[in-house]
């Protein structure tokens, strides 16, 4: 059996979509002849929100867990001074000082073995000094893990794979700052050229990477859904008391949340006794949304529930109770939540394909050069291929669709979803493909 060392900062029990990809490798590799050793950090999930990302671990020692799937090495986590200040005094105090300290660590971590994430490198190095593995794979971001994988590869003469969940130097934040973009471009070219190959989640991300890294073999391994928890909840039926619309995860600046809530508000103005409810799960801007609703959409306040971040297996069971799943347009990105929606077989509402307000938000906030790719509508394409939902053109179209769905729900007590060909997006199948790549690592023509 081959052995692979996985560097993954995000990993369960931390609740994040970024942790689900390496968790899928860990969970299914053994079925395909690979023993995984995951090096991650300790997560406590004390707050149930974004503060968990910077909260210190309870233990100051490395914790090693050996399970039926493989080995997990959990390193202690000590937040930097910026995050200590935030945890102690709140997010609204000492912003300038915290920004300065964070900037220092962002630069210095590439020059010295410093910063909270360096514990992963130290633990991986200690393990490899006593144990041989066939390959190292680093899941980014954080992309400092690529640097660690490159160093470990050189020191222990072991090939490594760079796995991109998102673009690095061409991500949203780097586009805003030319100095930061150039710095990260320099690092990306220097580090990733040492990788044996590159894996990523979509054609668009591949095209972005290729503008910098041109002489590497690429493999596209989409994100997917975890088949086991999906199978366990196949008998969970849609609730039939009120039409429930669920949304999970991050709301970005280019997402037309105001427009969507406005349509819901107008729906209640026209149908004051309507049985309709919105459920937001682990949303990053819950507090901002509550203020927006209090100030602009008071008539829907009692029809909205906000849930904290919860583990994925529990989350999926809660999502399955909804009748409809809301998805905002990521345009050239696929995102990850769409796969869980497809696995759940609940009708998806994609908002929007061509809405005036949404287009303005995209123009203002969506800082990615889409001219590099022809893949501008990945979610639309997937929804159409799997017959899993409705592509909503704009807010007027949403009002029409919402009324039609509401009438369907009142008539049937549920919303039909006749999706097809969804099994191919199981994470287990994607891990099988990655396993084949690893077994043929020495045979590939780079």
pLDDT band at 399 (very low <50, low <70, confident <90, very high): very high
Q: Please give the domain boundaries of the chain with CATH numbers for all domains.
A: 2-78+116-224+427-439 (3.40.50.2000), 227-423 (3.40.50.2000)
pLDDT band at 289 (very low <50, low <70, confident <90, very high): very high
Cβ-contact 143, 171 below 8 angstroms: no
Please say if the pLDDT value at position 375 is more than 70: no
Distances (CA, A) of 415 to 48, 182, 243, 362, 408: 31, 49, 9, 30, 7
Q: What would the mean pLDDT of 360-380 be, rounded to a whole number?
A: 77
CB atoms under 10 Å from CB of 273, counted, come to: 5
d(CA 329, CA 11): 26
d(CA 239, CA 202): 34
How is residue 146 annotated by DSSP? Answer: H
Record the pTM.
Answer: 0.84
- Torsion-angle region of residue 335: left (phi > 0), alpha (psi -120 to 50) or beta? left
Q: Tens digit of pLDDT for each residue in 149-159?
A: 999 999 999 99
Residue 369 structure tokens: 């050069």
pLDDT band at 82 (very low <50, low <70, confident <90, very high): confident
The tokens 């009708």 sit on which residue? 347
- Strands lying side by side in the sheet with 304-307: 304-307, 276-281, 243-248, 324-328, 347-351, 389-392
d(CA 250, CA 50): 11
Please say if the pLDDT value at position 316 is more than 80: yes
Q: Tens digit of pLDDT for each residue in 218-253?
A: 999 999 998 888 888 888 999 999 999 999 989 999
pLDDT at 446: 39
Cβ-contact 391, 384 below 8 angstroms: yes
Any idea which of 170-179, 375-384, 420-429 has the lowest mean pLDDT?
A: 170-179
Residue 243 structure tokens: 């039409």
Backbone angles phi, psi at 163, to 5 degrees: -105, 115
- Provide the mean pLDDT of the chain: 91
pLDDT at 175: 61
The distance in angstroms from the start CA to the end CA of the chain is 24
DSSP code string of 64-122: EEE-SS-EEEEE-----HHHHHHHHH-TTSSHHHHHHHHHHHHHHHHHSS-STTHHHHH
d(CA 223, CA 229): 16
| Bond preceding residue 414 cis, omega within 30 of 0 | no
Please say if the pLDDT value at position 445 is more than 50: no
Distances (CA, A) of 66 to 38, 59, 207, 222: 10, 18, 38, 28
pLDDT at 248: 93
Q: Tens digit of pLDDT for each residue in 244-270?
A: 999 998 999 999 999 999 999 999 999
């Amino acid at each position: 059996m081959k052995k692979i060392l996985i560097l993954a900062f995000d990993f369960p029990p931390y609740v994040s979509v970024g942790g689900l990809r390496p968790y899928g490798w860990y969970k299914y590799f053994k079925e395909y002849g690979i023993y995984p050793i995951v090096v991650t950090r300790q997560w406590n999930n004390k707050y149930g929100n974004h503060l968990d990302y910077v909260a210190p671990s309870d233990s100051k020692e490395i914790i090693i867990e050996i399970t039926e799937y493989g080995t997990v090495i959990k390193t202690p986590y000590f937040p930097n001074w910026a995050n200590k200040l935030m945890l102690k005094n709140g997010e609204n105090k000492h912003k300038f000082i915290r920004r300065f300290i964070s900037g220092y660590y962002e630069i210095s971590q590439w020059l010295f073995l410093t910063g909270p994430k360096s514990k992963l490198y130290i633990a991986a190095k200690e393990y490899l000094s006593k144990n041989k593995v066939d390959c190292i794979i680093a899941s980014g971001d954080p992309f400092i893990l690529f640097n660690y994988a490159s160093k470990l590869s050189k020191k222990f003469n072991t090939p490594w794979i760079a796995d991109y969940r998102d673009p690095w130097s061409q991500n949203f934040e780097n586009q805003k700052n030319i100095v930061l973009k150039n710095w990260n471009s320099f690092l990306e070219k220097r580090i990733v050229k040492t990788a044996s190959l590159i894996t990523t989640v979509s054609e668009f991300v591949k095209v972005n990477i290729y503008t910098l890294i041109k002489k590497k073999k690429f493999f596209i391994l989409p994100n997917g859904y975890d088949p086991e928890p999906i199978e366990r909840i196949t008998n969970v039926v849609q609730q039939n008391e009120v039409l429930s619309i669920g949304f999970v995860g991050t709301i970005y600046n280019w997402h037309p949340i105001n427009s969507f809530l406005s349509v819901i508000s107008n729906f209640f103005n026209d149908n004051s006794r309507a049985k309709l409810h919105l459920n937001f799960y682990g949303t990053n801007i819950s507090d901002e949304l509550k203020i927006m609703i209090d100030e602009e959409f008071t008539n829907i306040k009692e029809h909205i529930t906000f849930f904290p971040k919860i583990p994925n297996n529990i989350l999926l069971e809660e999502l399955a109770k909804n009748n409809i799943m809301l998805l905002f347009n990521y345009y050239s990105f696929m995102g990850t939540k769409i796969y869980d929606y497809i696995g759940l077989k609940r009708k998806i509402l994609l908002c929007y394909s061509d809405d005036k307000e949404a287009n303005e938000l995209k123009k203002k906030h969506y800082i990615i050069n889409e001219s590099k790719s022809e893949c501008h509508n990945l979610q639309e394409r997937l929804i159409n291929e799997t017959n899993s939902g409705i592509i909503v053109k704009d807010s007027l179209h949403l009002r029409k669709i919402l009324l039609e769905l509401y009438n369907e729900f009142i008539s049937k007590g549920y919303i039909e979803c006749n999706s097809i060909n969804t099994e191919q997006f199981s994470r287990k199948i994607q891990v099988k493909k990655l396993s084949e790549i690893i077994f043929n690592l020495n045979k590939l023509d780079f």
